[in-house]
Every structure is written in C-alpha cells, then in structure tokens.
Structure 1
Amino acid sequence: MSREPNERLGALLSRAQISNAGLARRVNDLGRVRGMTLRYDKTSVARWVTKGMVPQRPVPSLIAEAISAKIGRPVALHEIGFRDSDPHPDVGLAFPRDVPGAVRGATDLWRLDPSNRRGLPAGAFSVSLYSTPVARWLIHPSDPSVLRSPATVPDASPVEVTHTDAAKLREAARDARRWDSKYGGGDWRSAMVTECLRLEAVPLVLGTYSDAVGRSLFGATAELSRLAGWMAFDTGHHEAAQRYYIQALRLARAAADVPLGGYVLASMSLQATYRGFADEGVDLAQAALDRNKGLATSRTMGFFHLVEARAHARAGDAASCRRSLGAAEALLERARPGDEDPEWISFVGPARLAADAAECYRDLGMPKQVRRFTESALASSSDEFTRSHGLRLAVAAVAELDSGNLDAACAAGTRAVEIATRVNSQRSVEYIKQLLDRLEPHSTEPRVRELAERARTVLATPA
C-alpha cells in the first residue's frame, strides 16, 4: 500500500534547519543513552519524509525529542506527522499524591491483559521517569490514612478485605521470589505474578478495608509489583520494569512501609546502574539509605549499601565503592537471626556480600579481588539461587581470564553456560555474551571454540 509523504515532518525539519543526516545522528544518540542500538542514516530519514514510512516505537518519540532539543520547545507526535501508537503510553508512570489516585494508577497497570502487557516496549529506558516518583516519596514516604469505606469512597466495590486476604498475597510473593531465583524472571511460574496482580489484587484494592488492613494489603501488593518489575528487568523489558517499580513505590507509601519503599529504590538503582546510569544509581541507593536511618534493620541497610557500592563501581569511583562495601560488611556482621527483618530481605548475607563485591571489583578492573570474593560467593551458593550461581560463575570466568588462566576461565564459563540453559533470564544471556566477547582474542583455542559452541543455544534466546 502506497503512503503519502510526511509533509509535517519535512516542514518542521526545514524550519528547524536539521538535515536528514543530523536527525539520524540525534536519534541514534538518544537511543544509545536508553540502551538501544539504532543505526539510522540520512536515507532512513528520507524514507520517513518522502515515503511516509513510520519507524517502530519508541523511535517516533525519539524523533520528537531530537527536534524539541533543537528548537527549544516540546514537540508533540502529531506535529511531526506521527500518531501515538502506544495504546497505554502513560499507564503505570504516574505517582499520584492521593490514595484513590494511587489505586487507579496501580489497577490500570495490572489490568492490562497479557497481550497488551507484552506490548510494553522491551528495550526503552529513561532514568528521568524516576525523578518525580522518588521526589514525592522522599517528601512523604507514608500516607496519613488508607481507609476505604462507602462513606470515604462511594464507588468502592462491596468486597470486604481482611488480613487473611493480604496474607495470601504475601504468600504468593514468597513463592514468586523462590521461582524467580531458581528459574529466572522469564519462567512461566514467574509470569504468574502479573496474573496474581490482575486477577487477585485488583478486586481487593478496589474493595473496602480498614486503615490497618489497607496498610497490610498495600504492602503485599507493593511486594508483588516490585517482583513484577524485577522479573521484567531480568528478561530485558526495562520500560515495563519501570512502570511496575513506580507503582510498587507508590503502594509502599500507602502501606507506610518505609523500608519496603527503600527496597524498591534499591531495585531502581540496580536497573539504572545496569543500564549505564551509574550516577543516578548512586542517588537512588543513597535516597533509600537516608530515608531509612533508624527505621530499617541492619540487614536491610547493609543491602542498600551493597547497591550503592555497585553504582560507585560502575562510575569508576573505587574509594567510594570500598567505603560502601565496608559499611555493608559492618552492618551485615551486626545482623542476627532474631532481628525483625522483613521476609523480602532474607536473601542477603555473606554470600550476597561476596558476590556483589566481586562484581564491584570486576567493574573496577581488579581481578585478584574478584577471584577472592567470587570463591567465597561460590562456596556459599545453593540450589535455591540457581540464576545467581550462574552469574557468579560468569564473573569468575572473567576474573580467571584477566589473571591469565584461560583453562580456569573456560571451565567456569562452561558451568555458567550450563546453568544459563536452565534459567529464563536475559541478564544471564548478557553475562555469557560479555564473557565470550572477552574471550574473542583466544577464539582459535579449542577450549574457547568448544565453549562458544556450547553457548549457541543460550545466545539464541530472544531479548
């Protein structure tokens, strides 16, 4: 079917004095900072203008952003001849100030049917989307009341929620954490989290409940929404992860659970750091730490410091990284089994400290330290944390390679690949890719060729 030329885009480019090559370069650059690899050129732009071709989303939005930066004002998609093809562009991105708005925001996201939910962009990520939610949470980390009754919310459903209902959701979150650790965020069992939110949580949060029951309910749904975000992150669906994280933070505020809100911020920090925004990762981790002084347990604060250390390492700040690791170690040494730790932080202990320290020193280019901490992390690994064990093996392989031990690197890499074939995790795939990239100078070695062959199935996994 023939298309009409996109005269609006052509006219605006002319007025803005942007060449086709210049626009292509700007769009590619904007994509790069969002973790996308785009290879548009002047011919691509010519097709958009003269043949009316429409690039896949979110590229139309990047085009508008590129032109906006040049002319100094916001440019809407319709001004450049594109319509917003996203059926739910803002769902899950808002952080309403009031509780009824928070309920609407969360349920709108959870109600997306599976086909629409998969339509959320897989690769796009914008760390700036966290600015308003984090600022509002820092100002008011808890709501004064979450009571829902016919008197306060006339359109509330007649469902009367009890503590038992909230407890069932917490049990679902407990099971989901175990599935995620063992099978990866893309496993069918992990996908049941979003279905639990859609089918079980939506009717409950729209029902009636006392303030105490509501706090418990919002805490449970915040845990589930954070898990949904973590699983989306693990499978490479970063924009979907952002939406679930933002709603998890808003629900943690409704629950008046400041440590849980800090845990959501720590998850945001890990994602920002992973996507190349280490400075913002530091800010998010420090926000969690500052708000939780005197509130969170030693184990929880220790984890926040570990996340802070990861961001400092990615930023290349070795001194700050060491300070954060030292603070984490001191706090974890103080943690005791009898502490009133939330269940969601139970995974943090010496093994996690060693694993994060190893990744920090990997990013700082210190292979001896990586080997030392990786040995400790691997010694404490269990079958319950299958994915983490595979990630640690991949890190160990890189450290062995950097130390000149090719045989040991290939041995650890082979074990990492074997685990990666058993979990559904895009992060695991990317760790294997990074290892193979580092092994490229040795690609003629039989051991390396064998490892690369073993990894073919893993690398074929779609992002």
Structure 2
Amino acid sequence: MGQTPRPLEPSMSERHFFGAELRRLREQANLSQARLGAMIRYSADLVRRVETADRFPSREFVDACDKALATDGALMRLLPLLETRRNSERRPSAATPSSHVVAGSLLPVPASVSLAEMVIRVPVQPGVLDRAALSWLNNPATHSRSRTEQSNPLRNLTEERLLSAETALMMFRQMDHTHGAGRVHAQVQRYIEDELNWLLLNSSASEAAGRRLYTLATGFFELCGYQAVDTGAHGLAQRRYLRALRLTQAAADRLYGSYLLAVNIGHLALHCGYPESALGVALTAVRGSEAQATPAVRAALHAVVARAHARLGRESDCLAHLDIAEQQLDQSSPDGEPYWIHYLTPAYLADEIAHCFHDLGRPKQTQRHIRDALAALSPTHIRRLAIDTALLASSLAAAGQIDEACATAREAVDYAAKISSHRCLQRIVEVQTDLEPYRCEPEVRELGEYVRHQLPLAAV
C-alpha cells in the first residue's frame, strides 16, 4: 500500500510554495515521484525532499521538471524567489544577541522592537482621501511612458521577469492570508525595493508591456497598503493606496482605479471611523466607472457603499445597495472579469452583508450571513477566519447568547494567536467590549483569562 503524502503548507515560505507547486503539477500529470525522477534523471527521494521543502532545488533540477511536466517555464519563474531565500539563509545567523525570531515568523525581528509597537495607530487624513477621489474622477487615466522608456528603450524588461514578479505577488498574497502582515510585510517591502523598482526603472518600450507592469506594480502597492492596515499603520496605508491609484492612471486602467478607490480606500476610511468619507469615495468610484465596470466590480463597489450607509445608520439605503450588489454578482462570469476580482464570491459578499447588519444592530441577520461566509472560507485564510469568527461572537453577545458567544470568541482567539495581525487584535478587543455588560458571568471572566493567556496584546 502506498504511503500517504505529507501534507504541504505552501504559505509557510518560498520553498514550501515551490514544493507545493511541484507536487500539484506532478499529480496533474498523473506521475509518481519515482516516475518523474526517472524522467528527469534524479532520484525519487530528491523529488520528495524538494516537494516537502527539505531541499532547495538546483537550476538544472527545476529546468528538467519544467520540461518533463510541460509547464511552459512555470517552475523556473519561481527560481529567483528561491535563490533570494537560499542566499539569505546562507548569511551569518540572524540569531544574534540583538535579534530573535517570532514563532512561525519568516524573518528575524529586532529584540529592541516590542510586538506592541505593531498596534500603534497612525492617523489617516480623510480630506486627502476626498481630494484624491475628486482628482481621479476629473482626470481620466491616460497611459504615459516614463522618462526611462523614452530615453532608454533598449533596456526592456523580459517576459520571464514579469511572469516571475506576477508569481511572487500571488505567493505573497497567499502568505499574507495565512500569517498576517506582521510576519510577511518586510518580505514584500524588500521585494519591491530589490525587484519591482528595478522593473519600473527599466520599463519596456512596448505600451502593452508597460501597462501590464503598471498593473502588476498596482497590485504590489495595494497589498502593501492592506498590510499597513493590518499592522495598524493607517497613515502609511493611505500613502500606499494613493500610490497604487496613481499607477492605475499610468496604466490607463479606470476599472482597477475605481476598485482601489472604493474597496481599498473606502474600507480604510471605514476602518478609521470616517463613514462619510468612505461613502464619498465609494460613490465617486461608482460614478467614475459606469462605462467600464464589470458585474463583479460593480458588486464590490456597491457593497462598500452599503457598508458606509450601514455605519451611518441608514438602513434603507444600505439594503438598496446590497440588493444591487447581489444582483450584479449573480450576473458575473469569471471569464468576463479581471483576475484581481475573482476572490469576490457569494461567500465573500455574505461577509460584507454580515458586517452591514452588525452595524445596523441586527444580530440574527448578522449570524446567518457570517455563518455562510465562514462555511466557505479556506482553512489557510487564518486572518479572515479570526475576524469573522469574532464577528459571529459579537453578534451572539448582542443577541444575549452569552455561553455561545464566549465559546465562539475562544475559537476566534485561537485563530488570532496563530497570526500577526493588528486587525485580529482589534476584533478580539471588540468582542470583549461587547461582553462587558456580562462581565460578572463566569463564562465571560474565563474568556478574559483565556485571552490574557493566549493573546495578551488583546487583553482588556
């Protein structure tokens, strides 16, 4: 009887991601490790050790696998990421007296930096967001070639380098879902400084390649902005999102710009307590993208408008925009949507609807929709599991179901303890605040002790 393959965790590191991709492609080709090894003239044990992240693969090994599996170079495009990781691991040990490694972290953290510093709030300026929205609305995007392109058209980026960067962005997003920004953002920032900035400075003379590069760069700065929110650096998030918005204008991508304006910048304003500003930028995005918007993008924009109305207590307006969002998502087809909106499923929209009902003070409806969202979540999306489970606990507390609220809050704490995320800490604090009227109940006191033991930064 064959041995059961060891489960892989692709989000743990670049090497784990590569191993998981190799296994996926090998199994897709219906090949055993021994068969693939024979085809590429390497041992089955080496194939196994690369797949399980026990060994770094050589360039020759990767090239042979690409050819045997007919991947069109998919594995070779991951090699620059692996080589960066291998080089960093060959440097002198990071475990010096001035640093330590957080459990599960992919990078050393200076010992002089307290984890509490991660949760410091950096203020957002809503007036800046409002002006940016107005500027975007009044200045249609037009693709413009950089000075580098005009003066040095022979220094073109290669297709292989672009594909490698696109793969890196996909990998960083997956790692962010699982580990939180606190453990991943330094890697993303380093990649931007070392690789993405080089690509931007050596842009292709081809207009199509230039637009593709700007869209890729937009994705990186969008991720950086989201990670800044997740570490509590809201002012930095504002700057990152506005940089991404400018890149969509350079790419003449009105659709992506509207998404950034409503979904990223609008959510940032909501997160920082500025619902009027969130409503303004989201409605601007709706008006400014009427000709270009696809059904899924329209659904995402109207969901944010609904969130802002809910926060302002305007129930009828909220429900009207939720109805539009649901109708638009029903009309959506993946083939007709940009790749960056493919995450927007009925389950994701259920999450947005649940937050609306929570803000409107309707716990029963909140519970119904958040359970739908949780049922469809991937087990690797730890941050979302933590946040949504905490929201469910808060809605149970609002309904007076204290025992179930405390039990659910413990689950949320367990998820939050696995990840480095300021947003998760905030949600655990909010749950305890929602349970404050019942602080004399034994279950609530026990929950407080559990938080102090498992997640001390969220203790109140």
Same fold (TM over 0.5): yes
Runs (5+) with no aligned partner, structure 2: 1-109
User: What is the one-letter code of the residue matched to 2:445?
Assistant: R
User: What is the one-letter code of the residue matched to 1:313?
Assistant: A
User: What is the one-letter code of the residue matched to 1:424?
Assistant: S
Out of 280, 305, 309, the residue aligned to residue 308 of structure 1 is 305
For the residue of structure 2 that corresponds to 1:125, the secondary structure is coil
User: What is the one-letter code of the residue matched to 2:443?
Assistant: R
User: What is the one-letter code of the residue matched to 2:340?
Assistant: W
Kept in 2, the 8 Å contact 1:394–1:431? The answer is yes
For the residue of structure 1 that corresponds to 2:296, the secondary structure is helix
- 1:162 equivalent to 2:161? Answer no
User: What is the one-letter code of the residue matched to 1:303?
Assistant: A
- Matched with 2:26 is none
| RMSD, aligned α-carbons | 2.4
Map 1:10-29; keep pairs closer than 5 Å.
Answer: none
Out of 327, 330, 334, the residue aligned to residue 327 of structure 2 is 330
Out of 187, 190, 196, the residue aligned to residue 195 of structure 1 is 190
In 2 relative to 1, CA 357–335 (structure 1 residues): closer, same or farther, beyond 3 Å? same
Kept in 1, the 8 Å contact 2:140–2:249? The answer is yes
More displaced, 174-183 or 229-238?
Answer: 174-183
Out of 283, 286, 289, the residue aligned to residue 286 of structure 2 is 289
TM-aligned CA deviation for residue 180 of structure 1: 1.8
Out of 421, 424, 446, the residue aligned to residue 442 of structure 2 is 446
CA distance in 1, matches of 2:193, 2:154: 18
Report Cα offsets for 1:145-164 as digits up to 9, x if no partner: 326557x34xx597422344
- 1:392 equivalent to 2:388? Answer yes
TM-score computed with the length of structure 1 as normaliser = 0.69
User: What is the one-letter code of the residue matched to 1:185?
Assistant: A
User: What is the one-letter code of the residue matched to 1:194?
Assistant: Q
CA distance in 2, matches of 1:360, 1:170: 34
Map 1:395-434; keep pairs closer than 5 Å.
Answer: 395-434=391-430
- 1:351 equivalent to 2:347? Answer yes
CA distance in 1, matches of 2:169, 2:126: 26
TM-score computed with the length of structure 2 as normaliser = 0.70
For the residue of structure 2 that corresponds to 1:218, the secondary structure is helix
TM-aligned CA deviation for residue 140 of structure 1: 2.4
Kept in 1, the 8 Å contact 2:129–2:277? The answer is no
In 2 relative to 1, CA 408–208 (structure 1 residues): closer, same or farther, beyond 3 Å? closer
TM-aligned CA deviation for residue 233 of structure 1: 0.7
CA distance in 2, matches of 1:167, 1:359: 36
CA distance in 1, matches of 2:329, 2:230: 26
Out of 204, 209, 212, the residue aligned to residue 209 of structure 1 is 204
Between the aligned residues of both structures, percent identity stands at 33
For the residue of structure 1 that corresponds to 2:336, the secondary structure is coil
More displaced, 161-170 or 431-440?
Answer: 161-170
In 2 relative to 1, CA 246–318 (structure 1 residues): closer, same or farther, beyond 3 Å? same
- Matched with 2:254 is 258
CA distance in 1, matches of 2:139, 2:159: 25
CA distance in 2, matches of 1:365, 1:236: 26
For the residue of structure 1 that corresponds to 2:420, the secondary structure is coil
Kept in 2, the 8 Å contact 1:355–1:377? The answer is yes
For the residue of structure 2 that corresponds to 1:236, the secondary structure is coil
In 2 relative to 1, CA 173–128 (structure 1 residues): closer, same or farther, beyond 3 Å? same
- Matched with 1:89 is none
CA distance in 2, matches of 1:376, 1:204: 41
TM-aligned CA deviation for residue 317 of structure 1: 1.1
- 1:137 equivalent to 2:136? Answer yes
Map 1:17-166; keep pairs closer than 5 Å.
Answer: 122-146=121-145, 148=147, 152-153=150-151, 159-166=155-162
TM-aligned CA deviation for residue 131 of structure 1: 3.3
CA distance in 1, matches of 2:302, 2:163: 30
Kept in 1, the 8 Å contact 2:315–2:360? The answer is yes
In 2 relative to 1, CA 308–249 (structure 1 residues): closer, same or farther, beyond 3 Å? same
CA distance in 2, matches of 1:139, 1:252: 14
TM-aligned CA deviation for residue 332 of structure 1: 1.0
Kept in 1, the 8 Å contact 2:143–2:249? The answer is no
CA distance in 1, matches of 2:341, 2:449: 38
In 2 relative to 1, CA 174–213 (structure 1 residues): closer, same or farther, beyond 3 Å? same
Kept in 2, the 8 Å contact 1:393–1:413? The answer is yes
Runs (5+) with no aligned partner, structure 1: 1-113
